[in-house]
């Protein structure tokens, strides 16, 4: 009777179980069994996105500041241009700039012959009347013998001398006026405006000539604006 080699079977079975357990230990797990790892990954992603958002917000803020600064510079430039234009208009209105354009060239002079009388010589009042008519008919600028007529121009007579802006002048008087030459001349030739002057031209030989010109050059006022007895305008 033969005996089964039982001890050998047990030894072989043990070796097989050992090999199986060794193989199971070496195979890596198929999934992550650590519950903390996904949370940490999400937290890191969140922090990265938050940092990126903060950087973008700061960049937007910086760009907006640059835009505001550029707009401020443009606004200042625009305000400066407006102030310059306004200043130029005021200077032009005050007679502080040269005026060129179409207008009239007039000559006022004493009679060329005969003894001098009150009717055949020029007077300061004649010049004032002429200037007033010119202003009334839209003159843009006026000068008399090179003296610019402005808001505070005085035309006075001292003995045989006529003062214009405190400058002594004598006849003949050359009067320049810039503006609509047709309208200006029509106003001057209206007998109702300068009735006495035209009578003396006709009857006493006083000289008053009017010529239209496509260009007259009127120099700027070079005196000083000294105001006496000025009063502040009401703000109402």
DSSP of 151-194, one letter per residue?
A: TT--EEEETTEEEETTEEE-SSEEEEEES-HHHHHHHHH-TTTS
Rounded to whole angstroms, the Cα distance separating 144 from 167 reads: 11
Assess contact for 183 and 137: CB atoms under 8 A. yes
pTM for the predicted model, two decimal places: 0.63
- pLDDT at 161 (0 to 100): 87
CA atoms within 13 A on the CB side of 195: 1
Assess contact for 101 and 216: CB atoms under 8 A. yes
Q: State the 10-residue block means of pLDDT for the chain, 236 residues long.
A: 55 63 53 57 67 72 76 72 78 86 97 89 96 96 96 88 91 97 96 92 96 96 64 55
- pLDDT at 22 (0 to 100): 60
Length of the chain: 236
The superfamily (CATH) of domain 99-218 is Protein of unknown function DUF881 (3.30.70.1880)
Q: Return all residues near 95 (Cβ < 8 A) that are at least 6 apart.
A: 141, 148, 149, 150, 151, 220, 221
- pLDDT at 114 (0 to 100): 80
Rounded to whole angstroms, the Cα distance separating 66 from 171 reads: 66
């Amino acid at each position: 009777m033969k005996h089964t080699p039982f001890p050998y079977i047990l030894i072989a079975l043990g070796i097989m179980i050992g090999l199986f357990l060794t193989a199971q230990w070496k195979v890596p797990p198929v999934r992550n069994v650590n519950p903390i790892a996904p949370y940490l990954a999400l937290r890191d992603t969140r922090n990265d996105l938050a940092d990126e958002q903060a950087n973008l917000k700061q960049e937007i803020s910086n760009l907006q500041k640059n835009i505001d600064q550029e707009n401020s510079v443009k606004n200042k430039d625009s305000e400066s241009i407006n102030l310059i234009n306004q200043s130029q208009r005021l200077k032009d209105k005050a007679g502080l700039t040269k005026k060129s354009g179409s207008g009239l060239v007039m000559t006022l002079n004493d009679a060329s012959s005969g003894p001098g009388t009150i009717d055949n010589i020029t007077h300061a009042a004649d010049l004032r009347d002429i200037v007033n008519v010119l202003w009334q008919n839209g003159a843009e600028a006026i000068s008399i013998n090179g003296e610019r007529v402005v808001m505070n121009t005085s035309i006075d007579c001292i003995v045989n001398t006529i003062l214009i802006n405190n400058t002594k002048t004598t006849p003949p008087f050359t009067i320049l006026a810039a503006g609509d030459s047709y309208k200006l001349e029509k106003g001057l030739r209206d007998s109702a405006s300068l009735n006495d002057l035209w009578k003396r031209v006709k009857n006493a030989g006083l000289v008053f000539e009017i010529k239209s010109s496509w260009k007259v050059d009127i120099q700027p006022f070079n005196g000083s604006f000294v105001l006496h007895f000025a009063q502040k305008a009401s703000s109402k």
